[in-house]
């Protein structure tokens, strides 16, 4: 069982992605959960959850491709 945390920083808020994944002895994926939070000075707000493996990687690619527009889409939620 492993938990990986990734933080994307913007000017006034940050996007925090926590990924949980569990694998068996053969390396097969048993469970996966990605929780995406928006952190501001007021606190942390859950934006989205996904059980699809690779959800955090797709968010990273979206941020690299779209830049600030990706943050604006998540900030408005």
Residue with the larger pLDDT of the pair 74 and 65: 65
Residue with the larger pLDDT of the pair 74 and 59: 59
Q: 3-class secondary structure for 3-72?
A: EEEEEEECCCCEEEEEEEEEECCCCCEEEEEEEEEEEECCEEEEEEEECCCCHHHHHHHHHHHHCHHHHH
Instruction: Examine the pLDDT at 77 and tell me if it is beyond 60.
Output: no
Number of domains composing the chain: 1
pLDDT tens string 9-66: 877 888 888 888 888 888 888 888 888 888 888 999 888 888 888 777 887 788 778 8
CA 35 to chain centroid, in Å, comes to 6
Phi, psi of 17 (to 5 degrees): -115, 120
Range of the domain at 65: 2-75
pLDDT tens string 52-63: 887 778 877 887
């Amino acid at each position: 069982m492993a938990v990986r945390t990734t933080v994307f920083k913007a000017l006034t808020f940050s996007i925090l992605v926590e990924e949980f994944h569990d694998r068996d002895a053969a390396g097969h994926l048993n469970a996966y959960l990605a929780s995406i939070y928006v952190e501001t000075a007021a606190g942390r707000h859950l934006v989205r959850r996904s059980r699809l493996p690779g959800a955090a990687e797709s968010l990273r690619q979206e941020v690299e491709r779209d830049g600030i527009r990706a943050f604006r889409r998540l900030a408005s939620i």
